[in-house]
Amino acid sequence: MEAIKNCDYSMKLGLLGDSSAGKTCICCAFLDIEIQHDNLATIGFEKYEKKYILENGKEINLKIWDTAGQERFRSQDLQAVRGAFGIILVFDFTYRITFQNLETWLREIKDNFPDDTVVVLFGNKIDREKRDWQVTSEEAKEYATKNNLILFETSAITKEGINEGFNYIANKAYSIAEKRKEEKAKTKIIIKPENKANEKCVGKKKKNK
């Protein structure tokens, strides 16, 4: 995909979570790309870009990295999203193992990203019949509260919750990026050039005539 130019800022976001949780479909829904229902599982990673207007009016280029989610690609997934200011962690309401594995993903995030990285939780496929759900809304909300996460219940089919979720993480991530920039500026040490004239006088004695 061709890079987007003339934006105030470029922001990297990453999607993590088990394979089949619906990460690629979520990206497609957000980007208004037609969902191919016969899509094969993502191998490696995919990168998408979208010009986005923040709540403060700034126009940014969102760089969204979609990952495989399979255990054998775990290290590649983490490497792909390294440097992201925000992580969207995805599970599937109709497939309980994707919810149970959130613990593993959160440990990986904690071990590989700064503490101020914005992490949000997307509980996907809420368009499915409730009888097909293997995780309840109450369980998901309790888990999110326990881990200080904001939960968005989403559907890539109806697009419910997706724009709201991306809007939240994009604005929060931008705030974190600006805060890091300010802190870096404050701690930057400016070294003044040495005074060469004074340097010549140091250690020299006046000769007696």
| CATH classification at residue 35 | 3.40.50.300
pTM of the model: 0.82
**Is a pLDDT exceeding 70 seen at residue 191?**
no
Q: For position 37, what pLDDT does the model report?
A: 57
Q: Is residue 154 part of a domain?
A: yes
Sign of the Cα pseudo-torsion (184, 185, 189, 190, in order): positive
Rounded average pLDDT over 112-118 = 94
Three state DSSP letters for the chain: CCCCCCCCEEEEEEEEECCCCCHHHHHHHHHCCCCCCCCCCCCCEEEEEEEEECCCCCEEEEEEEEECCCHHHHHHHHHHCCCCCEEEEEEECCCHHHHHCHHHHHHHHHHHCCCCCEEEEEEECCCCCHHHCCCCHHHHHHHHHHCCCEEEECCCCCCCCHHHHHHHHHHHHHHHHHHHHHHHHHHCCCCCCCCHHHHHHCCCCCCCC
In a domain, 34, yes or no: yes
Q: Residue 190: pLDDT above 70? A: no
| Position 78 in a domain | yes
- Does the structure show a pLDDT above 70 at 202? no
Total domains present in the chain: 1
Q: Residue 205 — pLDDT band, cuts 50, 70, 90?
A: low
Q: Is residue 208 part of a domain?
A: no
Q: Are 124 and 91 in contact (CB under 8 A)?
A: yes
Strand partners, 88: 15, 120
Q: Is residue 209 part of a domain?
A: no
* 151 found inside a domain: yes
Domain interval for residue 133 = 9-201
